[in-house]
């Protein structure tokens, strides 16, 4: 099966009242001694020891030689490998290399560059640890370098074990502090209707219909949307040969009806969106009561002031957030943007890790890195703006939904979130997206994440 692109969500804001969220405190001039990931502020990737070379790798928790112990050494600092005592992150000529911690080339001046970022400078020089410029049409090179100051020489020192805070009381929690159980390909359940051509139809991503998913506590829904002569239909890859396909408006009506019966609940829809904007607008117009519950973060100052309290959103009736993964630029060319009728563009409001951990069987890739990092785009999981942190969608599923594998993966969800994905994004996941949410009790991982706030 092809990777799902998916449209997310991002939600916040109320009628102007309680939007204010304190801005994050400025980083200390010198970070505290401790264990850190050295993480590029540009790419979000981690500095790793690869046979003596210091290279950018996908964040991988306590694996792959990516943890460094920061300690003072006279008037400067060293970063000692957690996996090789006496070996430090240093430099050799114009390249970043591991060197003996006693070497002068292991010493760094560490200074704050603002926005929780740091510069690592060779003492007595104007040479810094830096990512190398990329050439046109390519990724940033893996090998880290010693070069000039600037954005590419800005680093997060992300704690391996950050000091979390208890979750605020229910009525004080902002949207970006809450984690929601999310169903990957929620429509592909075999209960509400067909979702794929023959054979693929035998491997549903979920085992329960949308109404039951809502009753079971699912609050995020990833839906693939295709255009047909009958309108916008939910199906995988295409709707050809799909028996009994379900229209988007049908599932959205189920969600709106649920929200009207449960006025304290909040739901997010992520559209992997292959339809023209006019078709989508017409489809939404068929949903009775949609405008009564639709949430518009673009109209309430969220980007300037941060996410509002979830309780304020529900009190204002703004309880359904819809995201699209479609391109704003292509919609502008077509003369109709989706946010003009309330569908938010995902990349403007969220970050999201790569969609797959591997095939349905065999080896796994548990690293956590942006699905929007490549030669043509660069949206790191660590992206942040003054006063605003994007919501974080954590994908935790494979290419194919095989029940036994999904059940086992779901038992490891909380562990991957804490050890791999939280430090990779420098934030707590807001949406945990899984296949077969009925297996492996992923709801317990959601409950665990909802007991604390990431610093």
Q: Are residues 152 and 189 in the same domain?
A: no
Is 239 within 8 Å of 233 (Cβ atoms)?
A: yes
Q: Is residue 27 part of a domain?
A: no
Reported as half-sphere exposure (CB side, CA atoms, 13 A), residue 68 has a value of 27
Among 130, 159, 188, the domain-final residue is 159
pLDDT value of residue 387: 87
For position 353, what pLDDT does the model report? 98
Q: Residue 28: what pLDDT?
A: 55
Contact indicator for 413, 49 with CB cutoff of 8 Å: no
Q: How far apart are CA 106 and CA 92, in angstroms?
A: 10
At which of 103, 126, 159 does a domain end? 159
Distances (CA, A) of 148 to 43, 55, 135, 151: 17, 18, 17, 10
Query: What CATH number has the domain bearing residue 414?
Result: 3.20.20.190
Is 29 contained in some domain? no
Task: Please indicate, yes or no, if residue 410 is contained in any of the structural domains.
Answer: yes
Low-confidence ranges of the chain (pLDDT < 50): 1-27
Q: Which residues of 231-262 are buried (b: 16+ CB within 10 A; e: fewer)?
A: bbbbbbeebeebeebbbbbbbbbbbbebbeee
Q: How would you class 427 by CB atoms within 10 Å of its CB: exposed for 0-12, middle for 13-18, buried for 19 or more?
A: buried
pTM for the full model?
0.92
Q: Indicate whether 10 belongs to any domain.
A: no
In this structure, the answer to whether residues 41 and 107 fall within a common structural domain is yes
Q: What is the CATH number of the domain that holds 131?
A: 2.80.10.50
Instruction: Indicate if 182 and 252 belong to the same structural domain.
Output: yes
Same domain, 155 and 185: no
The distance of Cα 259 from the centroid of its chain, to the nearest Å, equals 25
> Among 140, 159, 178, where does a domain finish?
159
Residue 274: give the domain boundaries. Answer: 165-453
pLDDT of residue 200: 75
The closest of 271, 304, 368 to 57, measured between CA atoms, is: 368
Please tell me whether residues 66 and 123 are part of one structural domain: yes
Could you report how far apart the first and last alpha carbons of the chain are, in Å? 37
Q: Do 113 and 192 have their domain in common?
A: no
Q: Which residues contact 398 (CB under 8 A, 6 or more apart)?
A: 356, 357, 358, 359, 360, 364, 405, 406, 409, 435
- Residue 318 maps to a domain: yes
Query: Do 40 and 183 have their domain in common?
Result: no
Look at the chain and report how many structural domains it folds into: 2
Find the helix or strand (DSSP H, E) in which 44 lies.
none
Judgement on whether residues 340 and 403 belong to the same structural domain of the protein = yes
Same-domain pairing of 406 and 358: yes
What secondary structure letter does DSSP report for 296? -
What pLDDT is attached to residue 3?
44
User: Is the domain of 85 the same as that of 204?
Assistant: no
Q: 149 and 202, same structural domain? A: no
pLDDT of 17? 32
Q: Are residues 173 and 140 in the same domain?
A: no
What six digits make up the tokens of 350? 């969220």
């Amino acid at each position: 099966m092809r990777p799902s692109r998916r449209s997310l969500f991002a939600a916040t804001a109320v009628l102007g009242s309680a939007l204010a969220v304190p801005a994050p405190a400025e980083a200390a001039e010198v970070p505290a001694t401790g264990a850190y990931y050295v993480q590029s502020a540009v790419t979000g990737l981690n500095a790793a020891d690869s046979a003596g070379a210091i290279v950018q790798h996908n964040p991988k928790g306590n694996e792959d030689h990516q943890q460094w112990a920061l300690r003072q050494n006279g008037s400067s600092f060293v970063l000692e490998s957690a996996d090789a005592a006496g070996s430090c992150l240093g430099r050799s000529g114009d390249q970043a290399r591991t060197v003996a911690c006693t070497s002068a080339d292991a010493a760094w001046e560490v200074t704050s560059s603002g926005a929780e970022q740091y510069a690592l400078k060779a003492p007595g020089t104007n040479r810094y640890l830096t990512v190398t410029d990329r050439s046109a049409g390519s990724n940033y090179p893996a090998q880290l370098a010693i070069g000039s100051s600037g954005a590419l020489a800005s680093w997060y020192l992300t704690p391996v074990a950050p000091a979390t805070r208890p979750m605020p009381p229910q009525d004080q929690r902002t949207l970006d502090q809450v984690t929601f159980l999310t169903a990957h390909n929620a429509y592909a359940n075999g209960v509400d209707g067909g979702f794929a051509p023959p054979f693929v139809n035998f491997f549903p991503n979920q085992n329960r219909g949308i109404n039951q998913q809502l009753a079971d506590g699912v609050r995020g829904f990833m839906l693939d949307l295709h255009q047909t002569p009958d309108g916008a239909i939910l199906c995988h890859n295409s709707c050809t040969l799909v028996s009994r396909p379900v229209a988007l408006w049908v599932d959205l009506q189920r969600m709106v009806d649920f929200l009207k019966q449960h006025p304290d609940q909040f739901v997010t829809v992520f559209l992997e969106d292959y339809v023209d904007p006019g078709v989508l607008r017409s489809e939404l117009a068929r949903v009775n009561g949609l405008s009564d519950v639709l949430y518009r973060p673009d109209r309430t100052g969220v980007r300037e002031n941060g996410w509002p309290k979830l309780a304020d959103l529900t009190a204002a009736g703004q309880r359904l957030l819809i995201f699209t993964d479609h391109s704003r630029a292509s919609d502008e060319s077509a003369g109709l943007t989706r946010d003009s009728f309330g569908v938010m563009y995902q990349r403007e409001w969220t970050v999201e890790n790569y969609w797959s951990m591997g095939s349905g069987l065999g080896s796994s890739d548990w690293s956590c890195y942006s699905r929007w990092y490549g030669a043509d785009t660069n949206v790191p999981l660590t992206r942040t703006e003054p006063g605003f942190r994007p919501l974080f969608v954590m994908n935790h599923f494979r290419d194919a939904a095989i029940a036994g594998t999904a059940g086992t993966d779901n038992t490891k969800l909380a562990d991957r979130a804490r050890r791999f994905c939280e430090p990779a994004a420098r934030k707590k996941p807001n949406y945990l997206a899984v296949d077969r949410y009925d297996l492996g009790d992923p709801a317990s991982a959601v409950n665990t994440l909802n007991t604390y706030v990431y610093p």
